[in-house]
Amino acid sequence: MALLEVKDLHTSFFTDAGEVKAVNGVNFNLDHGKVLGIVGESGSGKSVTAYSIMQILAPTGKIVSGSIKLDGQELVGAGEQVMRNVRGNKVSIIFQDPMTSLNPTLTIGHQLMEAILLHTDRTREQAEARAIEMLSLVNVNEPAKRMKQYPHEFSGGMRQRVMIAMALACEPDILIADEPTTALDVTIQAQILELMQKLQREMGMAIIMITHDLGVVAQMCDEIVVMYAGSYCERGTADEIFYNPRHEYTRGLLRSIPTLGSMGQKLHPITGTPIDLLNLPEGCPFAPRCEKAMKICIKHPAESMDINEFHKASCWLNVKDLYEKQQSASVVSAQEGGEA
């Protein structure tokens, strides 16, 4: 059984302007000790998917339908009591901006110990020892002294280390990292990613890595979910997504980024502009920007189709390919039959 099973998740925000369908039918499984990447642009619903798992949506947001099972336990519709036990204890999250996710008026030590005291039976002394242990685990120098300092005395990279220490203090099964390195410089990003990989190996938790950076995904993830306008385009192993993309959006995305070999060449951008979530089209949300869109793409959303054991994609072009293959195969077999 998978550690986390997300099935046909729909999350909407009910605003004055109307219903914003932020997540429209996302499916994925996460196994113990694996790193799953959720990739997409702003507004693709990747963060809302994560917030739905934690049920920390804004007051206007609501999980409309679908199922989220953690270790077999259904979380959709579960009470606040259950969720309190899940958050921080079984699933924890680190956010993009380490500057704003720490309380500036409390010491680092206070904030770290708060998480530990809330979720475990440790005494204050034990919690302090654990907090110091966590700080040294994330490579913060002189942890005992750092415990007494305030967030403003830490650099951006250091703050993100503190956030990771806080998230991992109760040894969760899943760590959700929402753009954890986007606000950081590349050399600091490399340090943080390396640290996350090291801790993942040592502690064995699963990671959901939410990012728009395909480079980060390529380096970190075993499996990848690609999202566009709240729908999932495809999911599969990292190699499958990068070397055998089967959705036009993924293909376009991979073509449009500069690579080591693209110097002096034109990039191939995806034309058009991102979609308005208030007015989602009937069919595939990417169809208005898709160069290969067919009539059916505009009318009906594509259903998820198995490409192979490790790869699912929702794109009508795959159905077309399959149909054409079968056609030509039947023509060949008919010819062979005729000759015989």
Site for another protein in 33-52 (CB under 8 A): 41-42
Cα separation, 249 vs 59, whole angstroms: 31
- Single residue of 53, 68, 165, 238 touching another protein by CB under 8 A: 238
Q: Is 157 in the site for another protein (CB under 8 A)?
A: yes
Smaller CB distance to another protein: residue 117 or 254?
A: 254
For residue 100, state whether it binds another protein (rule: CB under 8 A). Answer: no
63-71, 78-86, 154-162, 306-314 -> range binding another protein (CB under 8 A): 154-162
Contact letters for another protein, residues 208-227 (x by CB under 8 A): ----xxxxxxxx--------
| 24 DSSP β-pair partners | 10
According to the binding rule CB under 8 A, does residue 253 interact with another protein?
yes
Does the footprint of another protein cover residue 259 (CB under 8 A)? yes
Binding span for another protein by CB under 8 A among 28-36, 66-74, 206-214, 307-315: 206-214
Report in angstroms how near the CB of residue 141 gets to another protein at its nearest.
8
- Under the rule (CB under 8 A), what is the footprint of another protein? 41-42, 155, 157-158, 185-191, 193-194, 212-219, 238-239, 242, 252-254, 256-260, 262-263, 266-271, 273-274
